[in-house]
A = this chain, B = another copy of it.
C-alpha cells in the first residue's frame, strides 16, 4: 500500500529526483532514516523504476517527435512489436485498445530522419495502416 507520505515523497521526487535525502526529509518533515527507508522500499517494490532527466533547450530544439497510431494485422502482432523495438528512433511503444492497436512515439534529430522512420514503420509487414502526428509544440507536461 502506498501511504499518503509515499505519495508526497513521490511528488517531490517527480519534481526533483536529485534532491538529497536530507532535503527531502526536511521538506516532508520526517526523519532522514524514514525517508531513506521509504525510498529503499519504493525502489525494491518497483514503484520507483528509475530516475531520469527531462531535457529541453538546445537538446529539444534538435529533436522532432511524432505520435504514430498503428493498426496491426493480428497474426503479425508479435513480429511487429519486435521489429518496432529494433528501430532505435522508436522511444516508446504502447499496446492500446480502440481504433488502433499500437502507439509508437518516435524521436529523430531532423524532419528528414523522422519522415524516413515513419515510412519504415508504414512499410513493416504486419502494419495495416498508420496515422502520424508530428509534434509542433509541447503545451505542458506534469
Contact = CB atoms under 8 A, between A and B. Distances in A.
Contacts of A133: 69, 94, 96-100, 103
Interface in A44-63: 45-59
A18 interface: yes
B136 A97 contact: yes
A117 interface: no
Contacts of A139: 81, 84-85, 93-95, 102
Interface in A18-52: 18, 45-52
Q: How many copies does the complex hold?
A: 2
A137 interface: yes
Contacts of A131: 69, 98-99
A51 B51 contact: yes
Nearest to A134: B97
Interface in A77-109: 81, 84-85, 91-100, 102-103
Given A58-B2, A131-B99, A48 B52 contact: no
A4 interface: no
Contact of A55 (B48, B98, B142): B48
